[in-house]
Amino acid sequence: MDKDMELKIIKNFKSRNIDVAFFETLEEARGKIMELIPLTCSVGIGNSQTLKKMNISELLRARGNIVFDKTQAQSQEESKEIKKKSLLSDWYITGTNAISTEGHIVNIDHSGNRVAAMIYGPDNVIVVIGRNKICDTLDDAVHRARSISAPLNAKRAGYNPPCLELKKCIDCKTAERVCYNLVIVEGQFAKGRMKLFIVNEELGF
Interacting residue ranges for ligand SF4, rule: CB under 6 A: 146, 150, 161-163, 169-172, 177-179
Listed in order, strand segments (DSSP E) in 80-153 are 91-94, 98-100, 105-109, 124-130, 134-135
CB of 110 to ligand SF4, least distance (A): 9
Report the residue number, 12 or 96, with the smaller CB distance to ligand SF4: 96
Beta carbon nearer to ligand SF4, 127 or 150: 150
Query: What's the closest the beta carbon of residue 73 comes to ligand SF4, in angstroms?
Result: 24
Closer to ligand SF4 by Cβ: residue 21 or 172 = 172
Q: Minimum distance from CB of 165 to ligand SF4 (Å)? A: 10
CB 183 to ligand SF4: min, Å: 14
Most distant CA atoms of the chain, gap in Å: 47
d(CA 180, CA 113): 11
Cα separation, 39 vs 67, whole angstroms:
11
- CA–CA distance, 124 with 194 (Å, rounded to integer): 6
Q: What is the Cα–Cα distance from 77 to 100, expressed in whole angstroms?
A: 36
CB closer to ligand SF4, 5 vs 166: 166
Nearer to ligand SF4 by Cβ, of 1 and 170: the residue is: 170
Q: What kind and span of H or E run contains 82?
A: helix 76-86
Min. distance of Cβ 120 from ligand SF4 in angstroms?
A: 24
